Structure 1
Amino acid sequence: MQFMESRQCLQKPSNPFAEPKRCLNCSCRHIRTAHFVVSILLSIHNGGSRLGSLRNKAGSSKVQVKPKNLVKVEMPSATQEINVNETTGSLAMSVDSVINLDRGDPKVYEKFWLENGAAAAVEIPGWQKISYFSDLTNLCWFLEPDFAAEIRRLHRLVGNAVADHGRHIVVGTGSSQLFLASLFALSTAPEVAVACNGRPVPVVSSAPYFSYYPAATDLLKSGLFRWEGDACSFHAGSTPYIEVVCSPRNPDGSARTAIVKSCNGKLIHDLAYYWPQYTAITGAMDEDIMLFTVSKCTGHAGTRLGWALVKDAEVARRMTKFIEVNTIGVSKDSQYRAVRILKAVCDGYELEGAGESAKLFHFGRKVMARRWEKLREVLAANKVFGLMEFKKLHCEFMGKETLPLPAFAWLECGRDIEDCESFLRQKHKVLTRGGKDFGADGKHARVSMLGRDEDFDMFIQRLKAIRL
């Protein structure tokens, strides 16, 4: 947050927590109050605070932070220091805080990397990684060779996708950019363009589908493709279409296959959650376009990096062209960091002497199992919400039968609750994402299981308190 001084504005609105607003009397932007109160609940980890600091220009004295105490601070006169979490930039939780479980922000992995982070540490001298180009001999010229090597190594280790044997790797700024690159590549194929005759290609996915798909597909009102909705109600006919297969599916964690049966369809497989901490690895996927992301694999959402495994060279070339025009490639610094991250993950399983604490997927599975057990216990007791039931499947990576432990809980409200999202938000200060965003009804809501322990534990306590 940045505080900007106003020499002309002396207004002091009644709401001390209001967002900055343009003044009616001048062109400046300022905070709509001269006094404010900040209450910070400090969380302690291993006896020490994991808080960073954000400096603003509104005052001079520092916030005096005492562990495990609430601190009230009046607006000072010079430089003010506000303590926030150094990873997320958010204030620490308090018993009255709004719990944000809307987004799948993978802070659950923070503890693993606190212990194993040294193996993934990077230092980039100022003269390195300056050029746009990584490998001019590669179809995806902005893909760092070391990153491509670690991607292939990771998939060989886990066994969840065919990454060798001539598969092309296209790197993107998260799988979100790769999704759009895939739509562009498939809709601009010569045979598709001829068959559509100037009409946008329909894009479908089975409901409940990831809420990002319709938003991203229609954001720019492209003439190349348009969102058509639920694949279950789509009639392909003789025209081309694109079906997005998300497995395990966001939001409900179920394993999915293509719904529409037609020779005119093109498929995009979103496999962001096909990792052993979330689901059984039943075999190596071998599809035309497969999307993966660092954020849900290792927890590094802020690195903004994903990759696509693509069979067809021309499709990979058009995807590369989209990213070239869109962002002139992908951050080499992010790729360099991802190299170290993926290497640390693989080394944790392949190097002799690596302890149990270095095994990322086992860590993730242990945490997710504990959370799902707690959630099911509470929901069974209060009988307000329903959850999907899953069957055990043999996981080739773990070498045993395992239950799915999805990254999200797909809650269904019972009783007379028609809007699950509003019920949790208004009555219990829990932010979720409503079912209608996913093409489902309002009785459903998606809840992230990927937050920090303190967030999840507070969520469980609030669920326990629900009485109808």
Structure 2
Amino acid sequence: MGNKCDITFNGDDSLSFFANGKSLCWFLESKLEEQIKRQHNVVGHAIVDDHYTIVGTGSSQLMQAALYALSPIDQLEPISVVSDTPFYLDYTNGQEMQEPMRKMEFILSSLHRQIILIGWALVKDKEVARKMTKFMEISTIGVSKEAQLKAARILELISDSCLDPNMENCFEYTFAWLICKGGEEEDCEKLLKEHKIHTRSGRRFGSDSRSGRISMLSRDEDFNIFLQRLMAIQRPTNGN
């Protein structure tokens, strides 16, 4: 996207913690909220009407805020947290699973913007949204305005590229998953490392060692080298 993502704003625009006094999430920039809802409407994979938008410093903080908001104060037994794989490893840190009496299920989207550490949640229940906002207020007193405005600009370009066939498609995947179709003992991360390809094992994301996650954020020349090394991998056959 190059310099299309450049933004300009005055320093005195960011002196206050408040961004939008009319929003339940009072530190959410209106430009970001507008572009979040626009992108979900363009892509069509989430309902935004009658939902509150909660912004956080990455999806990990939003997950903690959701746990805070959804955990009942009168629950004596631990509650298990359930999410389909793959999920980010840090979601499980600090959470103990001990004979749970109740369960929480989280369905996650991959639109979280890792580079500028912005994530958001669409929350239907007003009280849950209020508690999540309170968690953000206590932990970080909101979210960086600069990061929000950068994210708004990126989302704007992505939505524009989806709507205009003449524009370069900016809707790019940040990660790809590779699966080694060997036996259960296959270690995809180890195999690729032997061929100078850096990846993270699926075990870090709730899967198994046969899968691996690789970043797609590299430059074109790096990606071409990756393809060359990937195609050079040959399995031994007939014991040779």
Structure-2-length-normalised TM-score: 0.84
Letter in 2 for 1:270: L
CA-CA distance at 1:156 after TM superposition: 2.1
- Asked if structure 2 preserves the Cα contact closer than 8 Å seen for 1:204 and 1:227, the reply is no
- Asked if structure 2 preserves the Cα contact closer than 8 Å seen for 1:170 and 1:310, the reply is yes
- Residues 1:436 and 1:339: Cα distance change in structure 2 (over 3 Å): closer
Q: Please name the residue that 1:204 is paired with.
A: 82
Structure 1: how far apart are the matches of 2:210 and 2:64? Answer: 30
Structure 2: how far apart are the matches of 1:132 and 1:320? Answer: 13
State percent identity of aligned pairs: 40
- Residues 1:184 and 1:417: Cα distance change in structure 2 (over 3 Å): same
Deviations 1:133-162 (A, max 9, x none): 112332111011222122222222222211
CA-CA distance at 1:328 after TM superposition: 0.9
Q: Please name the residue that 1:145 is paired with.
A: 30
Structure 2: how far apart are the matches of 1:204 and 1:227? Answer: 12
CA-CA distance at 1:327 after TM superposition: 1.0
Letter in 2 for 1:424: L
Which structure has more relative contact order (CA 8 Å, sep 6+)? It is 2
- Residues 1:435 and 1:150: Cα distance change in structure 2 (over 3 Å): closer
The structure where helix makes up a greater share of residues is 2
Q: Please name the residue that 2:39 is paired with.
A: 154
Structure 1: how far apart are the matches of 2:152 and 2:43? Answer: 17
User: Residue 171 of structure 1 is aligned with which of 51, 55, 79?
Assistant: 55
- Asked if structure 2 preserves the Cα contact closer than 8 Å seen for 1:345 and 1:358, the reply is no
Letter in 2 for 1:169: T
SS for the counterpart of 2:46 is coil
- Residues 1:137 and 1:439: Cα distance change in structure 2 (over 3 Å): closer
Structure 1: how far apart are the matches of 2:184 and 2:29? Answer: 54
Counterparts in 2 of 1:31-180, with a 5 A limit?
113-114=1-2, 117-118=3-4, 120-164=5-49, 166-180=50-64
Counterparts in 2 of 1:332-343, with a 5 A limit?
332-343=145-156
- Asked if structure 2 preserves the Cα contact closer than 8 Å seen for 1:411 and 1:447, the reply is no
Structure 1: how far apart are the matches of 2:139 and 2:200? Answer: 29
- Residues 1:412 and 1:172: Cα distance change in structure 2 (over 3 Å): same
Instruction: State yes or no: 1:181 paired with 2:65.
Output: yes
Instruction: State yes or no: 1:271 paired with 2:109.
Output: yes
Letter in 2 for 1:210: F
User: Residue 437 of structure 1 is aligned with which of 193, 197, 204?
Assistant: 204
SS for the counterpart of 1:193 is coil
Instruction: State yes or no: 1:419 paired with 2:232.
Output: no
Q: CA RMSD in A?
A: 2.7
Number of corresponding residues: 235
Letter in 1 for 2:198: L
Structure-1-length-normalised TM-score: 0.46
- Residues 1:417 and 1:424: Cα distance change in structure 2 (over 3 Å): farther
Counterparts in 2 of 1:377-456, with a 5 A limit?
407-414=175-182, 418-425=186-193, 427-456=194-223
CA-CA distance at 1:358 after TM superposition: 4.3
- Asked if structure 2 preserves the Cα contact closer than 8 Å seen for 1:172 and 1:323, the reply is yes
Letter in 2 for 1:460: L
The structure where strand makes up a greater share of residues is 1
Query: Mind listing any 5+ residue stretches in structure 2 that lack a counterpart?
Result: none
- Residues 1:154 and 1:415: Cα distance change in structure 2 (over 3 Å): closer
Structure 1: how far apart are the matches of 2:184 and 2:28? Answer: 52
Query: Which of these two proteins has the greater Rg computed from alpha carbons?
Result: 1
